[in-house]
Amino acid sequence: MTEFLAAAIRIATPLLLAALGGILSERAGVFAVGLEGMMLAGAFAATIGAWAGGSAAAGIGLALAGGAVIGLAVAVVAVRWRADNMVTGLAANILALGLTSYLLRVAAGGGGRPASIHLPLLGPWPIPVLADLPVVGKLLFAQPPLTYLALLGCVAFTLFLGRTQAGLALCATGENPEAAFAAGADPLRVRMLAVIACGAVAGLGGAVLSLQQVGTFTDGMTGGRGYLALASLIVGRWTPFGAAAACLVFGAAEAFELRLQTFGVPVSSYIVQMAPYLIALAVLAVLGRSARLPAAIGRPLEQ
């Protein structure tokens, strides 16, 4: 059971970081369809950073930057140039997929073969005393660093959105940018910064995959996790802890699938793999109209 929960947390961690980024973007009024590309860019940049810089810290730093670059692209096209949010996000995802695959091969000196990079995995940092607690100790206090970061992020983002002037301005921009402007905020700036920050945080989510779980970068290694993160932040009603809960559910579904495989239960793994997507659809369908989106989401800013 502990192992099952541990697996669920492991799978949920990259989703959660991406979802946290997405919350910033969507609460500011920009659909976060580009999470997949931001994660992918982050995973790639983390790999290159850790490989070239020789330390995980360099990887994490570059992951922030890599995700932010995709965020910047989305911000310029969708916010500054007022193009459709959703389609811009998709375009960013295609761009990130192409760019990371291409650069991975360029890093190998050109040609069709990708660079083969193998990194030591970021291991757990057990917190003294707490890590020795039964069950919870292992689950919550003996995790690798980026998992702690995701949990801290939940707390920090909740405080930021609810308790700070900047968070208030961000939410106001997503609800009614004209009113936010009249109250003295700068909606264009707020949205641009929110989307760029979204990229950086989602980039960390990608870094979890490459630095903490796989130890290398492979083409399209996010495999749709950005879209699941998007679903989880909607299911979690645009709140950090809500999104965390949704990510854990998706993580548990996937962990369950892994268990079934190990125990040779005669259920097709493909059907079980569909679970996260079907759960997301089912929850969205049940929420239906009551899923109250930020009122001005997807609406371009007036001049």
Partner 1 sequence: MSGPVSSLPAGGVARAPLRLRLATDRLAVRILLAVALSMLGAALLIALSGHGPLTAFAAMAVGAAGSAHQIGAALNRTTPYLLAGSGVALCFRAGIINIGAEGQIAVGGIGAVAVALATPAGMPPLLAILAALLGGALAGAAWAAVATAIHIGRHVHEVLATLLLNFVAVLLVQQALAGPLGQFGAGFLQSPLLPRAIWLPRLPLIEAHPGFLIALAVAAALSFVLWRTRFGFALRVAGASRPAAAYAGFSLARLTWGVMLLAGALAGLAGGIEVLGVQRRLIEGFSLGFGFKAVTVALLGALEPLAVVPAALFVGLLEAGALSMQRQIGVPSALVAVIEGLTMMFVLAATVRRA
Partner 2 sequence: MPDATVASPLLEMRGIVRSFGAVRANDGIDLDVQAGRILGLLGENGSGKSTLMKVLFGMLPPDAGSIVFRGRPLAGHRPAAAMAAGIAMIHQHFMLIDAMTVVDNVMLGWPEAGRVLRRAAMAARVREASRRFGLDLDPDAPVASLPLGRRQRVEILKAILRDAQLLILDEPTSNLAPSEVAGLLAILRRLRAEGRGIVFITHKMPEVLEVCDEVVVLRAGRVAGRTPVAGASPQQLAEMMVGRSVAAAPAPAAQAPGAVRLSVQGLTAPGLSGVTFALCGGEILGVAGVDGNGQIELAETLAGLRRARGGRITLDGRDITHASAAARVAAGLAYMPADRAHTALVRSMSVAENLMLRDSARPPYARGALLSPAGRRGRARTLMGEYDIRAAGPDTPAGRLSGGNQQKIVVARELDRRPAVLVAHQATWGLDPGATRFVLDRMLALRDGGAAVLYISSELEEVLAIGDRIAVLADGGFAGVVARAAADLPQIGLWMAGRAA
Contacting positions for partner 1 (CB under 8 A) = 31, 33, 73, 76-78, 81-84, 86-88, 90-99, 101-102, 104-106, 110-112, 219, 224, 227, 230-231, 234, 268, 270-271, 273-274, 277-278, 280-281, 284-286, 288-289, 298-300, 302-303
Return the number of the residue (73 or 169) whose C-beta is nearest partner 1: 73
CA distance 196 to 203: 10
DSSP of 62-131 = HHHHHHHHHHHHHIIIIIIS---HHHHHHHHHHHHHHHHHHHHHHHTTSSSSPP----PPP--EEPTTGG
Strand partners, 126: 142
The number of residues in the chain equals 303
Q: Taking contact as CB under 8 A, which single stretch among the options 40-48, 87-95, 138-146, 179-187 is the one that binds partner 2?
A: 179-187
Residue 229 contacts residue 47 (beta carbons within 8 Å): no
Helix (H) or strand (E) holding 135, with range, is none
Does the footprint of partner 2 cover residue 171 (CB under 8 A)? yes
Using the rule CB under 8 A, which residue among 109, 111, 120, 182 binds partner 2?
Answer: 182
32 closest CA partner among 210, 253, 196, 266 = 196
Nearest by Cα to 89 from 112, 70, 113: 70
Residue 28 beta carbon to partner 2: minimum distance, rounded to whole angstroms: 13
Among 55, 164, 261, 269, binds partner 2 (CB under 8 A): 164
Q: Which does 302 bind (CB under 5 to 8 A by kind): partner 2, partner 1, none?
A: partner 1
Residue closer to partner 1 (CB basis): 75 or 161:
75
Size of the site for partner 2 (CB under 8 A): 21
User: Interface with partner 2 includes 234 (CB under 8 A)?
Assistant: no
Taking the C-alpha atoms of residue 147 and residue 70, their distance in angstroms, rounded to an integer, is 23
Q: Which is nearer to partner 1, 157 or 227 (CB)?
A: 227
Residues that bind partner 2 (CB under 8 A): 163-166, 168-169, 171-172, 175-176, 178-186, 292, 295
